[in-house]
A and B are shown apart, each in its own frame.
Chain A
């Protein structure tokens, strides 16, 4: 008999387990099932850098949070309503985030003495009443799974046990009315070469679903209706996927071959892996011997007429500074993607931070301006990548594209753009002399101040470029004092001039009454926008502006900032944009800063806005 169905507007589920428990797969499959149902979604995978930390240990816990709703949502949610904990360590590290009354599903089989001890529990929390304030569902996931898989030939008990994540997924799919068909299809294709493993996983999934239907422990199921999103075709996408597609699209739009130089580094490696699969788009990926060579090869490719890109995270980007300085002097296009992670040094490789802003702006010798573009959401990485390429090609300059570990691994539905509406970013290569019968490699375009891009193979335009200071127009080596002053100013003016070629800073202030402005940049868009919604729901006005361009700033930035009595700058660093706006615009802005290696929470930003408004 069907159980009663309760309507919900939104749900936040967190799957947590051992690194080897398959929580990322479970979470992403739950997301796929949910996306196909038409809910709006936002996901946040949170996992350790260790591939397999000691089983059952606290540092080995891997989590995947998915927020789905019948309206447009902005973040993966501050805290889960439902926590699925596969072992005591997962419970211990996540239970503090579950609000009172929240649903807690635990794999009771994993709560043995050994695991309890590893997680630091003196007594089993399932039995000591410490979980009384939650709706606890204690389910023997492991033994139910092993029982369900009895009799499948060629599946070892260990392999059967490992399918328990699919049992959990089946149960959750039933609880929220998600069809498990897409996951069955996925499993059959993933394990096509080992049909017995596919069968085991499918059986576990189905057993979990059936368990929900029959067991008395769950009295109701829930339904979250489709969200009213803009019409169109959608796919679920992570930031790194979107960024990769953006680079492929940019190369197509620029009519240039794409060359990626990269060295494996978390959380940027997925871009290298993704682009390596697009060889039929003429994409060349080069896994270099180090970060320096990755950037160097991209500059070499750019010299030869490719769209040269290098991708990394902070610890790799610092090594590229020298090459970026060269590209500034050579005035060649180059896109450097920094998928920021918590630092300094190795820091926390899988955790997000916005700590690299000042580095990408100033982390080079001498006067070396570089435009900076930052993505605001996973799907926005696509547009941000195209924008970074556009600026690099048009102005013949290295351009930084900033993302972070949260955007990189987080996902959301992406309204697929009509390819025909994407910007034309094609650029002209030099084909003939530009000064009588001479070719002057540093004779600039009057409007953009960009120099001509003459690639080897073009007869009559042979020229030499290099890291030594260039004479204006001819590009010959020059130590002339006035020339150096001129060239330094020209390079700065060229980048500053981009302000005339980017949109003005837009302000979101529905009532128009706001006296307080929240200024953000990059990956904090979701939490800040969600925080502003909350503040407005509480009956107060607040304005939100979010910077895509960090260098140069939009031309109206100062005017926008000065329009408000108070300016709050929330960041996942200790106040880097804050420092810039104070220095640049003499605005007495204040910061809200958290560097926990986690996205900002909407609730805490909302409280910060209200506190500042009350001051």
Chain B
């Protein structure tokens, strides 16, 4: 039986605010899931705490809505013991980058086979509007009446710095782009990190208006592997790498336009691209920044178990208890 988007809906009433970007992400995910060809019972969504973390309740798969920031750790235990499953983590900017920052970076460096989707709305929504670790410096919120003092994280730079093997960005309203990124993430063996720009209409409306409403493509820089990186309404703008590795904007017709290489051995290019922002260069790259192969934690662990079993035979409990120096009393 072929599954459809409907098969991935649950009977639970979806309880996000009207206009929340999460609706679009949920719809995109539910319609994308059937094309993966993975049975519902073999798919698991794990989340932490926050608005985004309600996601598993609405996916008719196995799921766990866990504790704040810990989803990558919980998913690591699940993925490591059950390599047969497709494990997804849904998290937010506060959940992943503040309280769960440690778990996020370690899951990425280990290359555990989990797909981590970070819904970034640059605000704490569920606690009603405090600044988050991705809020801009000077952001005025309920907890920062005179402006935030925190310099924000760039989630992609962080992930690349944490040795992530797959790093991508999508936009909640761009269903086609998001589906392409999710597909690439699902196909990647190992951990995949996807930042999804997600609008919070209540506490941080239009934080990403420059790309969400970017109908003529003036601000979105599409990353296509193996193709020159150009954008603009008529494709007239391009990115070029300076000799020091940093990136500048040039005319698409000029020489030296950067050709995207998501599979480059060095993380330097992906990192440089992650530094290209609306603020720094007037454009925002979307798509897959980095997609490289590295041994996967779960596979390595399974290999060690297989090697040990091949070498020593399947464990015999009685023999184990009697190992070491023993003596008999008659």
Listed in ascending order, the chain A residues whose CB lies under 8 Å from chain B are 32, 35-36, 38, 182, 226, 229-236, 245, 248-249, 252, 257, 259, 261, 278-282, 284, 286, 288-290, 292-293, 296-306, 308, 322-323, 325-326, 330, 416-417, 419, 456-468, 476-477
Contact = CB atoms under 8 A, between A and B. Distances in A.
A465 B65 contact: yes
Contact of A468 (B65, B305, B320): B65
Interface of B: 10, 12, 39-44, 46, 49, 56-57, 59-67, 70, 73-82, 84-85, 102-103, 106, 301, 304-305, 307-309, 311-315, 317-318, 320-322, 324-330
Contact of A459 (B39, B57, B66, B84): B39
A462 B64 CA distance: 11
B77 A464 contact: no
A257 B84 CA distance: 15
12 contacts: A233-B326, A282-B305, A284-B305, A288-B76, A300-B75, A300-B76, A303-B74, A322-B70, A330-B64, A416-B322, A460-B41, A467-B66
A235 B327 CA distance: 6
A464 B56 CA distance: 7
B60 A280 contact: no
Contacts of B62: 456, 462-464
B301 A284 contact: yes
A458 B41 contact: yes
A289 B328 CA distance: 43
A466 B57 contact: yes
Nearest to B319: A419
A282 B306 CA distance: 9
Contacts of A462: 40-41, 60-62
B328 A286 contact: no
A35 B311 CA distance: 31
Nearest to A326: B67
A280 B314 contact: yes
B161 to A, nearest CB: 15
A457 B77 CA distance: 16
Given A301-B81, A462-B62, A466-B66, 10 more contacts: A235-B324, A252-B315, A282-B309, A289-B106, A296-B66, A301-B80, A305-B81, A306-B81, A456-B82, A462-B40
Contacts, number: 205
A36 B328 CA distance: 9
A234 B106 CA distance: 43
B82 A457 contact: yes
A374 B53 CA distance: 37
Nearest to B70: A296
A505 to B, nearest CB: 28
Please indicate which of the listed interface residues B60, B67, B304 has the most CB atoms of chain A within 10 Å of its own CB.
B67
A464 B317 contact: no
A300 B74 contact: yes
Contacts of B74: 296-297, 299-300, 303
A286 B315 contact: no
Contacts of A322: 67, 70
A27 to B, nearest CB: 15
Contacts of B327: 35-36, 38, 233-235
Nearest to B314: A280
A280 B324 CA distance: 17
B65 A464 contact: yes
Nearest to A382: B321
Given A279-B305, A281-B315, A304-B78, A456 B328 contact: no
Please indicate which of the listed interface residues A32, A280, A282 has the most CB atoms of chain B within 10 Å of its own CB.
A280
B66 A289 contact: no
Nearest to A281: B315
Please indicate which of the listed interface residues A38, A259, A462 has the most CB atoms of chain B within 10 Å of its own CB.
A462
A588 to B, nearest CB: 42
Contacts of B313: 280
Nearest to B326: A235
B76 A297 contact: yes
B110 to A, nearest CB: 9
A457 B106 contact: no
Given A252-B317, A284-B305, A304-B77, A456 B326 contact: no
A234 B321 contact: no
A464 B326 contact: no
A303 B308 CA distance: 25
Contacts of B49: 467
Contacts of A252: 315, 317
A58 to B, nearest CB: 35
A35 B325 contact: yes
A587 to B, nearest CB: 39
Given A280-B314, A416-B326, A292 B70 contact: yes
A461 B41 contact: yes
A298 B330 contact: no
B70 A323 contact: yes
A303 B317 CA distance: 25
Contacts of A463: 62-63
B328 A259 contact: no
**Top 3 closest A-B pairs, CB basis?**
A466-B65, A300-B77, A297-B77
B44 A456 contact: yes
Given A245-B320, A303-B64, A466-B56, A32 B325 contact: yes
A281 B311 CA distance: 12
B37 to A, nearest CB: 15
Contact of B325 (A236, A289, A301): A236
